[in-house]
Amino acid sequence: MTVRAADFAALLSPESDSLSLPVGFAVAAGVGLGFGVVWLLTRQARRLAVTEAAQMVDVAKREAAVSAEEVKQKAEAEIQMRRAESNREFDRREIESELKLREIRSHEESLALLDFQLEQKQERLSRENAAVKQARDAMRALSKSLRKRLEGMASMDAEEIRKQLREEVMLECQDELRALRREILERSDQDVENEAKRILIAAMQRLASRPNNDITATIVQLPNEEMKGRIIGREGRNIKVFEAATGVTLLIDESPQMVLISSFDPVRREIARVALEGLVQDGRIHPASIEEFVKRAQEDVGVQATQAGEAAVQRLGINGLNPEVIKLLGRLKYRFSYTQNVLDHSVEVGFLCSLIASEVGLDPNLAKRAGLLHDIGKAVDGEYEGSHAHIGAEFIKRHGETPIVVNAVAAHHEEVNPETVYAGLVILADTVSAVRPGARAESMTNYLQRLERLEKLALSLEGVQQAYAIQAGREIRVVVSPQQVTDERARELAKTLRNRIEEELQYPSTIKITVIRESRYTETAT
């Protein structure tokens, strides 16, 4: 509210009404007081506004400083990250450059070596060319001199002389070349044979193995005769449950304090032995305990087989075998071929392969791997069809073995063609391990019976006149009638005899079958 000065002066003038003086003074005082209050309020509001503005400016400055600091930190972090990426990229490129530089240096060294070898070859060729040229010049001079002499001594012209000399030289050279070739071949054959004998003898002398005993039955000792009755049980209940659970036959006869476990499956026989020994030691023999001990024995034998496989692999120092292959390999511990344990035989073949490979300059690790796995098919369950060589090859092929090892396993009985020299090594080492003294011995009675059965089997075929088992039963020679058996039939006869031998006979290693068909014509001059 604004009070004009004229009005205020009028109120104070003496001419004004005396009654109106107090009223005017009061109005003026109110107006002044109101002005002062308004001024004070306005000043206070201005001060508050200035303070709030200063606070807002201060807050804005602090927020701006924080934002700037965050932006600065983000920029520094991004700079550090990009710097680290740049450093990594620089290190990577530096490493690549170093590798490329090494490759270039290696290529340079190889090229330098090749240049040096090339220079040597060129020098040798130059010397040989010079020698050949010199010999050719000497021959030409000799031929020219001889031609002149012949022309002077006879009335033959140059063409006839040239033809005659050519024929004589060819005849002389052919005789010399044949004699030289025969001499070289004979010497080479003798050298190869001597070297082969040396390698085999060296390998066999470096490896000494102990013979094993064949096991077709297992004997379990009993603490007393009463235990036999407990094993049999009431009405034969216990022995029936045991035989059904293990798949073996228990022979309880009059032998004192012993039970014979019979089975052609060595793994089942071992499970039965462990289970029966546990039952005898525990003393509680009834169907429930029998099943419990058989199950426990199966687990124990499985663990022992795995440990045996790992021990064989560790003994040969082979790495990278599949655990399933090692587990199956350990089952060979319970298998025997006559007096030879199959797992020990496999380890021995692995050692022999390694030794022979070292002698001839091949990879001994690859050779011992093939030798160790060559008989693994014998541990595969019987429901698989085929020979143990084929089954073993397919098994290790499914578990990641190399084609070289697979072929060596499949070809170690020559059922398939050997594709590498390592297959030949396995065949050789398998034969050496099987035929060494004491490896697969058998009694004289069994030996004679086996030879007799082999000859009878051959004689039972139509058209066979004579059959002879030779080389300790490892070869059978069959003489057929040429009137009844043709050449094609003789070939089929050999295959038929091979199949019957494999199906009906048990024999160590392999048997070679030779069918002989010949015709003889005899005349007598009088």
Q: 209-246: per-residue pLDDT in tens?
A: 444 444 555 777 787 878 888 888 888 888 888 888 88
For domain 217-435, give the CATH number: 1.10.3210
The C-alpha atoms of residue 93 and residue 83 are separated, in whole angstroms, by 15
DSSP summary character for residue 254: S
- What integer best gives the mean pLDDT of the chain? 79
What pLDDT is stored for residue 3 in this prediction? 46
C-alpha distance from residue 180 to each of 177, 191, 192 (Å): 5, 16, 18
Model confidence over 67-79: pLDDT tens digits?
888 888 888 888 9
Asked whether the beta carbons of 349 and 429 are under 8 A apart, the reply is yes
The CATH homologous superfamily to which domain 444-516 belongs is: K homology (KH) domain (3.30.300.20)
The C-alpha atoms of residue 414 and residue 203 are separated, in whole angstroms, by 22
The C-alpha atoms of residue 310 and residue 317 are separated, in whole angstroms, by 10
Q: Which residue has tokens 């060979």? A: 332
- Interval 402-428 mean pLDDT: 86
DSSP string, 423-486: HHHHHHHHHHHHHSTTSS---HHHHHHHHHHHHHHHHTSTTEEEEEEETTTTEEEEEE-TTT--
Dihedral of the alpha carbons of 300, 351, 435, 425, in degrees to the nearest 10: 120
- Interval 346-365 mean pLDDT: 86
**Cα torsion angle, 488, 492, 493, 495, sign:** positive
Rg over alpha carbons for the chain, rounded to the nearest Å, is 53
261 membership: H or E segment, kind and range: strand 258-262
Q: How many helices (H) and strands (E) does the chain have?
A: 15, 8
Asked whether the beta carbons of 493 and 457 are under 8 A apart, the reply is no
Q: Which of 321, 320, 316, 380 is nearest to 348 (CA)?
A: 316
What pLDDT is stored for residue 164 in this prediction? 72
Query: Going edge to edge, which strands form the sheet with 512-516?
Result: 464-470, 475-480, 512-516
Q: What is the number of other CB atoms lying within 10 angstroms of the CB of residue 310?
A: 16
Model confidence over 181-215: pLDDT tens digits?
777 766 666 666 666 656 655 555 444 444 444 45
Asked whether the beta carbons of 483 and 506 are under 8 A apart, the reply is no
Model confidence over 376-409: pLDDT tens digits?
888 877 556 777 888 888 888 888 888 998 898 8
User: Of 17 and 370, which is predicted with more confidence?
Assistant: 370
What pLDDT is stored for residue 1 in this prediction? 43
Model confidence over 251-297: pLDDT tens digits?
877 667 788 887 777 778 888 888 888 888 888 888 888 888 888 88
- Interval 462-474 mean pLDDT: 83
What pLDDT is stored for residue 211 in this prediction? 42
What pLDDT is stored for residue 188 in this prediction? 66
Q: Which residue has tokens 């003789």? A: 490
**Cα torsion angle, 111, 115, 118, 120, sign:** negative
Give the type of residue at 60.
Answer: A
The C-alpha atoms of residue 436 and residue 204 are separated, in whole angstroms, by 9
